[in-house]
Structure 1
Amino acid sequence: MIRLYASELSGNAHKVRMALAFLGLDWDERATDAAARRTDAFRALNPMAQIPVYVEGDFILRDSQAILAYLAARHRPGEWDGRTPQERGAIMVWLSHAANEIFNGPALLRAERLFGWSVDRERAAAVAMRILPVVEAHLAGRDWLVGGRLTIADLAASPYLALIGDAGLDLDDWPAIRDWTRRIAALPDFPAMPGWPAEGGE
């Protein structure tokens, strides 16, 4: 049985949750709060004391982007992680954006508002305003980020963009991003996420 150490409101955890649900895999989700992440038992799984952590038998993997890459290679090779070198490179660009600009912009603004994190709000807002127009322009006239289909690029990049309302931003200001995140939420087996707007409503 797959174990996923996560928390309900973690966008990074939700990336993995979506992948598992769309793959039709069963998993045992272990709610892991900040106190649990400081324990020796958890640090043995992830010395960085972060979620998500994916455990499958003796195999342990941390970092949401890495977990997505593993699940794609194991269960949807080519379809989810790129059919050509060009697609693979393009997907990696979006995994990088997810870990860098999207996290250091919209995700940090959300973490400050929801969880009381101490962040450089001015810098996070500036990063958000750099990456949001890039994503919006890329999605104009496209349904998906790469290859005309769902890939791990979409799974990696979407949660903290779908949740920008929690960051004090208005998703309706970014209609291509809004429609893309609603397309993802409309997919069969999409696992609900608090704050992620569905088609036709907030």
Structure 2
Amino acid sequence: MKLYHHPLSGHSHRAHLFVSLLGLPHELIEVDLAAGAHKKPEFLKLNPFGQVPVLEDDGVVVADSNSILVYLAKKSGSTEWLPEDPVGAAAVQRWLSVAAGEVAYGPAAARLITVFGAKFNPEEVIGRAHTLLGRLETHLAESDWLAADHPTIADVAVYSYVARAPEGNVDLSPYPAVQAFLGRVEALPGFVPFVKTPVGLTAEAA
């Protein structure tokens, strides 16, 4: 099993985190984004969208981080990470959509400004991040996990960019339930950390 990734990509981290939580043997292959390796023909054969991560598993190629989470959960044969009942499956899907939407356009976008120099409006994306965090705080004040009474791929999908939100100048201190949730994810057996970058509020704290 090969996982094409970049260490500063939160999308890559969520895939790497889940492979590790499942304890699956895998080879990490770093894609040099700065050199444009993700736009080269050989990589575009794996993912025509030119994005990391991509999972290659015995001839099966899966692109998109959330798709990789679903694939691995199904392959593991455990319904804990991805429930099969209609209500449980829908609850997980709801948060996968949040990860692809509100997380991507909020804390992830804010971090893209400081880490990669993206040309987003900082005030706008930081505002979106706090709107999301407020909703997460309300939800997590009443539940340890996002979609069930145990961890699922919903939690894996949301974790990475929320954990590194301070790198995008998004302060997590007003959100104790969110911080406690991050701690619960980090306490899971097999957890692998997302590399820290000394930018944004992280730089100020250093």
Question: After alignment, is 83-92 or 98-107 more displaced?
Answer: 83-92
Shift of 1:142: 1.7
Q: Which residue of 1 aligns with 2:171?
A: 170
TM-score if structure 2 supplies the norm length? Answer: 0.90
Distance between the aligned counterparts of 1:165 and 1:26, measured in 2? 32
Q: Which residue of 2 aligns with 1:110?
A: 111
TM-score if structure 1 supplies the norm length? Answer: 0.92
1:1-202 pair list within 5 angstroms: 2-34=1-33, 35-195=36-196
- Give the number of equivalent residue pairs: 196
Distance between the aligned counterparts of 1:21 and 1:134, measured in 2? 28
Distance between the aligned counterparts of 1:146 and 1:28, measured in 2? 30
Shift of 1:31: 0.6
Question: After alignment, is 149-158 or 166-175 more displaced?
Answer: 166-175
Backbone CA RMSD of aligned residues: 1.5
Q: Is the partner of 1:147 in helix, strand or coil?
A: coil
Give CA deviations for 1:108-152 in whole Å, capped at 9, x if unaligned.
Answer: 100110111111323312321221111111000321112110100
8 Å Cα contact 2:3/2:53 also seen in 1: yes
Q: Structure 2 regions of 5+ residues with no counterpart?
A: 198-205
Q: Structure 1 regions of 5+ residues with no counterpart?
A: 197-201
Shift of 1:83: 4.4
Distance between the aligned counterparts of 1:143 and 1:33, measured in 2? 37
Distance between the aligned counterparts of 1:38 and 1:159, measured in 2? 24
8 Å Cα contact 1:165/1:195 also seen in 2: no
Identity %: 34
Distance between the aligned counterparts of 1:19 and 1:129, measured in 2? 26
Distance 1:97 1:31, change over 3 A: same
Q: Which residue of 1 aligns with 2:202?
A: none
Question: After alignment, is 27-36 or 74-83 more displaced?
Answer: 74-83
